[in-house]
Amino acid sequence: MTALIAGLRAQCGGPRDGALLRFSLGNALFGEGKTAEAAEELRRAVAFDPAYSAAWKLLGKACLAMDDRAAAAEAWRQGIAAAGQRGDKQAEKEMTVFLRRLA
């Protein structure tokens, strides 16, 4: 486990715990190929903030990396809705493309 992941995990459950921390941890885990752990943290991120489109996008990628196409599609659908609510057009476009490629 890298120092970054250890440092992020140490903050979980503390006063700084939240969507950004869980997204950062999920992103670091995903970068190391720990896709199941990454997906778990990304699910926590969107539980903290269901409108966090970047977390939905990465969650979809993590699910796809685990060959769970249904979960990837669902994450991207929810991410598209979240991005639409926030006006995040770029994330909305990217996830729409990912979803189309999946089909």
Joined together, the tokens standing for residue 29 give 């885990």
C-alpha to C-alpha distance for 20 and 52, rounded to whole angstroms? 9
User: What is the per-residue pLDDT for 75?
Assistant: 98
- Topology annotation, domain 3-102: 1.25.40
User: What is the per-residue pLDDT for 69?
Assistant: 97
User: What is the per-residue pLDDT for 103?
Assistant: 85
- CA 62, distance to chain mean position in Å, is 7
Q: Which residues of the chain fall short of a pLDDT of 70?
A: 1
Identity of residue 30:
F
* DSSP type of residue 13: T
pLDDT digits (tens, 9 = 90+) for 24-44: 999 999 999 999 999 999 999
C-alpha to C-alpha distance for 62 and 64, rounded to whole angstroms? 5
Report the SS3 class of residue 9: helix
